[in-house]
Amino acid sequence: MENCLFCRIGANQVPSKIVYEDERIFAFEDIHPQAPTHILICPRKHLASLTDAAGEDAALLGHLLLAAAQMARERNLLAGYRTLFNSGAGAGQSVFHLHLHLLGGRSFRWPPG
């Protein structure tokens, strides 16, 4: 997906602060952080949103979530951190390459806005 911003970030064609990567996923700091820690975790496989994931992607989605938990442990966020997917424009999705937000380092309210 040569026109996809996050595919380009994963291929190092657009600069970003990568904090983790392996053969299936990559993670980088959000350019407009909404918390002291705000990391976006993406599959290398281009999926536009969670809605586009299928059964064959189950292990990949699990890997994203486990990577988020590992980063939360490493960054001492265990007092409370948030992991979320915005799926669809109505939920605030603005980049249509699936990404898991990891937010931490402050307190959070419920329900989210």
> What residues make contact with ligand 5GP under the rule CB under 6 A?
5, 16, 28-32, 40, 86, 92-95
Report the largest interatomic distance among the alpha carbons of the chain, rounded to a whole angstrom.
Answer: 39
What, of ligand 5GP, Zn ion, none, does residue 109 touch, CB below 5 to 8 Å by kind? none
Nearest CA to 81 out of 89, 70, 92 is that of 70
Which of 69/84 has CB closer to ligand 5GP? 84
Which of 5/69 has CB closer to ligand 5GP? 5
Q: Least CB distance from residue 29 to Zn ion, whole Å?
A: 18
Cβ pair 99, 29 in contact under 8 A: no
CA distance 9 to 30: 12
Residues designated catalytic: 99
